[in-house]
Chain A
Amino acid sequence: MVGYAVQRLLGAIPIWIAITLITFILMNVIPGDPVTQLMDARGGSMDKKVIEQIREEWGLNDPLPLQYLHFIQGFVQGDLGTSYQTRSPVTDLLLERIPVTAQITFLGLIVAIVFGITIGIIGALKRGSWLDSLVSSFSIAGVSLPSFLIGLILMYIFAVKFQLLPASGYASGELKFLILPSITLGLGVCGVIARITRSSMIDILKMDFMTTAYAKGISSWRVVLLHALKNALPPIMTIIGVQMGFLLSGAVITETIFALPGIGRLLVDGILQRDLPTVQGCVVFITSVFLIINLITDIFCRWIDPRIRLDT
C-alpha cells in the first residue's frame, strides 16, 4: 500500500510540470500585461518609462523559457515567488486562504454525503413511490441548478427574510459565516451522490444475501446500513472522490457570492489581474489536492473491498 502511494505521488510529478507549463503558456498567450494591471480599473495612466522599469524589476523582459525555469527553480526550493499585486510571497497568500476553502469544502462535503446518502437510501427503499420521484426531482435540481442561484436563494431566505444568518463575509472561527456557503456547495454535489446511492443500493437490495439477512431476523435499519450500504459504498466513494474536484471549482463561485477569502477567489483575482505567480501557486495547490484525493479514494475503496487490486 505504501509503495503504491509513493509510486502514485512520483507519477504525479510530470502532471504537475505539465499543468504549470500549460498555465504559464496560457497566461503569457492571453493579452493583458501584469504591469498595466497595477493601474486602477477605473481608468488612470502610467508612465511608459515606469512600466519598462517595473518589467525589468520583475524579470518580465527575460525570454519566456528562462522565466519558466526561474519558476521551477523556486518551486523546487519551496518558493512559489512573489505576487505582483500584493508583493507578498505566494506561499503566505495560499496559507491565508487554504483554511477558508478547506472549511467550506469539508463542510460542503459533509452536507453532500449526509443528505445525498440519506435521500439516496430513501429513494432505493421506496422505489417507484412518490417519495422516490421527489428524491429524483431533488437530485436533478441539485445537479442542474447553478450554485450561484442556490446561494442567492438561501441568502435571501435565511439572511434577508428571517435574518438568522449573515448574508456574507467571514470571521475566523465563526461557524455561522460558513453555514450557507457549505449548504450551497453541498447541494450541488448532493444530487449526484443521491442518484449513485439509489442505483447502487437498488442493485444490492436485490441480492440473495440481503434476503438471508432479513431471514435471520436482523432489524431493518441494521440490514440497510450495515449490510446493504457497506456493499453499495465503493461506487459511492469513487463518485465522492470525483466530486471533490467539483467542490473545489464550485468553491470559486461560492466564495465570490458569499465574499469569502478562499483559494477560489484568489485564483480568479490572479487571473483577472494577470498575476502569474499567484495563479501558478493556486494551480499547483489545487492540482496537488486533486491528485491526493484521488489517491485516498483509491486506497479507501481497496480497503473497503479487498477484491479491488490497486496495482493492476
Chain B
Amino acid sequence: MKGKIYRIFLVVMTIMMILSACSNSSSSNSTSGGSDSSESNTKPTYGGKLVRAAIYGDPQNLDPAIRAHGTSTSMITWNIFEPLIRFDAVKGVFNPANAESWKISDDGLVYTFKLRKGVLFHNGREVTAEDFKYSLERVLNPKTASPNAGSLTIIKGAQEFIDGKSKEVSGIKVIDPYNLEITLTKPDNTFLTIMSLPYAAAVPKEVVEEKGEKFGQEPVGAGPFKFKSWIRDSEIVLEGNKEYYGGRPYLDEVVYKIMTDQSTRDNAFASKQLDMMVLGDAQYPKYKNDPTFKNQIIEVPELFTRNLKFNLKKKGPWQDVRVRQAINYAIDRDSIIKAVLQGKAYPAVGILPPTIKGYNKNVTTYKYNPEKAKELLKEAGYEDGFTLKILTTDHPAFGLPAVEALSGYLEKVGIKVKIEQVDFASLLDRVNAGDFDAAMYSNGGQTHPVEYLTRYFHSKYFGASGNTGYYKNEKVDALLDEAAQTTDEDKMISLVQQAEDLIMKDAPWWFFNYNKAVIVHQPWVKGLQPVPTDIDYQDLTKVWIDEKMK
C-alpha cells in the first residue's frame, strides 16, 4: 500500500514538472505589439537604463590598442572612445566625429583631419592632434603588443618605427593642436575605415601612463559614454557622458550583462532582466514564431561570409578547380540553412553580402546541381570520388551541424567526408598555420569591399594575415590593388565586382551563407537599427527607453 502511494506521488510530481517546463513562458510577457523603434511616433526622452547581453564573453580588456577589433570588445569601446570619424553602416557613409572635416590629396597619399574644438576626454582635458599621434604610435609600438599594429603599417614611417629605426612615425604630423596630417606609403581607400575603428581613437597619455596595465580595466576616452564599473565575467556599466560634444546621450546608463549561455539569456529576457539581446540559431524560431516577440525583432544580413575553405597550399584533389566547383554544385545550401540553421542565414550568392557596397547579385554563382557536380568530378578524374578531411568546431552556425549536413550531399556525388572536430582556439591555430585540408569558417567584418576581398583572397595576405586558403590569382591581385588605389568610387566598385567574379569562378571556398543577425528587444527599447557590420555595434546615442511602456 505504502509502495503504491509512493509510486503515485512520484508520477504526479513528474507530470507536474513536465507541465511546468512545457508551459509558455512568454504568456506572462504579453505586451501590446512592440514595434521596431524606427516606427515609433513618440519623441525620444532622456533618462533610463539599457541592459543588453554581451553574448561573446568577457572582453578581457577595454584598451582598444590591446584587443583586436572584434565584437566582444568593440561593442563597448566604440562608446567609450571617439575616433576621428565614424562609419554609419546603415547608410554606408562616413560621418565626422572627433574630426569635423577631412581632406584627401589628389594622389590619395595625404589625409588631413581638422579636429573639432572643445572635445573633452572623460577626465576633462581637451583632445588635440597630439593625442591622436600619441595613440596611433602607441598601437604601433611593439612594447604595446597590439594585434592591430599591422593595419597601421600603411602609414609612412610606421615600419621604421616598429623596427626601432626611428623614434616617431614620420607619416603622422601634428600641424597644430587641431590639424593632423597622415601620409600613407601608397594610396589606400580602406584607410578611412581603419581610422573609424576604436584602436585609432585618441587615448589620454597622462591617464595611460598613470594607470599602466590597469588602463584596459578602467578606460578613459572621449566617447558618448564613460566607463563606470566592471564586475569581471558578469557585467560592465557605462554612464552617459553629459559633456559629449554631440550632446548628452538619451540613456543615463548602459549595462552589458556578460552571458555566454543561451538558456541563461532566454530566462533573463523572459524575466525582463534584459532589454535586448542578439539571438543564436537555436533561439531564433522561438522568438520569430512568438506572436509578441516577432514584432520586436530586428534582422540584417551581417558582413560575415561563412564558408568551407580549401587549403590550396596542400596537395589534394581540391587543387583542381573542377573539383572545387563540383563541391559547390553538390551541396544544397538552401536546404541546410532551412533545416540546420532554422533559416537564420542568407544563402551566399557570392562573397560580398548584400549590405556592403559593391554587392553584385549577378555574380557567377553555384546553384544546387548534383548531376553537374558528378560531371565535373568525372572530368577531373575523380569519378570514383575521394576522401575529404574537414576541420571544424562545434559552432552551431558554421560548425559540426552544418558539416554533417553537407557530408550527406558530398557522399551522394562520391566524396567521402572525414570530420575532425576541435575547439575554436585549435581551429584558429591550425587554419592560420595551414594545417588542414578543408575547414569550416566564418570570415568578414570588414566594411569596405576592397578590404573584404583583399584580406581573404590577395596573395600578399597569405596565412595568418587572412588568406588562410593560400588562394592566388594574379589577375585578382591586380584588380584589387587597382581598386584600393582608385579615388573614383564607381571604378572601385566595378573592379571589385570583376575580382569577385574571378574568385567565384575559381571557387577557393564552398560559399555557404551570410549571417542573418537578429536582435530581439523589449517593447520599451527605441532607436535600435539593423547594423550590418555587426548588429551588436548599435549607435547607443540614438537609443532611448520609453518608460511609459514598461
Interface set of A (CB-CB < 8 Å, partner B): 30-33, 35-51, 53-54, 56-58, 82-83, 85-89, 93, 96-97, 129-130, 133-134, 137, 152-153, 155-157, 159-161, 163, 166-172, 255-262, 265-266, 269, 272-274
Contacts and interface: CB of A to CB of B under 8 A. Distances in A.
B232 A38 contact: no
Given A82-B213, A167-B273, A156 B429 contact: no
B30 interface: no
B273 A40 contact: no
A163 to B, nearest CB: 6
B2 A130 contact: yes
Given A87-B216, A168-B273, A159 B432 contact: no
A133 B6 contact: yes
Nearest to A37: B425
Contacts of B151: 47
A260 B466 contact: no
B444 interface: yes
Contacts of B185: none
Interface in B212-229: 213-214, 216-217
A260 B233 contact: yes
A159 B28 CA distance: 12
A81 to B, nearest CB: 12
Given A30-B426, A169-B234, A266-B233, A47 B149 contact: yes
B264 A50 contact: no
Nearest to A38: B147
Contacts of B25: 156, 160-161
Contacts of B166: none
A163 B17 CA distance: 18
Contacts, number: 213
Interface of B: 2-3, 5-6, 9-10, 17, 20-21, 23, 25, 28, 56-58, 60-61, 63, 66-73, 142-143, 145-147, 149-151, 153, 162, 213-214, 216-217, 231-235, 257-261, 263-264, 267-268, 270-271, 273, 304, 422-426, 428-430, 432, 441-445, 455, 461, 463-466, 534
B426 to A, nearest CB: 4
B14 to A, nearest CB: 11
Interface centre among A152, A260, A262 (most CB of B within 10 A): A152
A156 B260 CA distance: 17
A43 B304 contact: yes
A272 B423 contact: yes
A225 B257 CA distance: 46
A22 B390 CA distance: 31
A129 B214 contact: no
B271 A163 contact: yes
A272 B257 CA distance: 20
Contacts of A51: 464
A169 B3 CA distance: 43
Contact of A50 (B60, B150, B273): B150
A32 B425 contact: yes
A168 B70 contact: no
A46 B428 contact: no
A50 B233 contact: no
A43 B232 contact: no
Contact of B213 (A54, A87, A130, A260): A87
B270 to A, nearest CB: 5
A146 B316 CA distance: 44
A46 to B, nearest CB: 5
B208 to A, nearest CB: 12
A39 B73 CA distance: 11
A43 B442 contact: yes
Nearest to A171: B231
A48 to B, nearest CB: 6
B455 A45 contact: yes
A261 B445 contact: no
Given A50-B149, A51-B464, A161-B28, 12 more contacts: A38-B68, A39-B70, A40-B445, A46-B147, A130-B5, A156-B21, A156-B267, A166-B273, A168-B273, A169-B257, A256-B261, A262-B233
B233 A269 contact: yes
A178 to B, nearest CB: 12
Contacts of B5: 130
Given A43-B442, A43-B444, A130-B6, A261 B231 contact: yes
B428 A87 contact: no
Given A43-B443, A134-B6, A36 B233 contact: no
B465 A47 contact: yes
A43 B309 CA distance: 13
Contacts of B153: 47
A134 B12 CA distance: 13
Contact of B461 (A45, A56, A83, A163): A45
Contact of A261 (B216, B232, B425, B455): B232
A32 B432 contact: no
Nearest to B423: A272
A88 to B, nearest CB: 6
Contacts of B428: 32-33, 36-37, 39
Contacts of A53: 142, 145, 149, 162
Contacts of A42: 56, 70-71, 304, 442, 445, 534
Contacts of B261: 256-257, 259
B465 A168 contact: no
A199 to B, nearest CB: 20
Contacts of A171: 231
A156 B153 CA distance: 52
A56 B153 CA distance: 19
A40 B444 CA distance: 11
B71 A33 contact: no
Nearest to A265: B233
Contact of B425 (A47, A97, A257, A274): A274
A273 B423 CA distance: 10
Contact of A160 (B162, B267, B429): B267
A269 B72 CA distance: 14
Contact of A170 (B67, B149, B231, B273): B231
Contacts of B258: 259
A144 B253 CA distance: 43
Contact of B145 (A45, A57, A129, A266): A57
Contacts of B143: 57
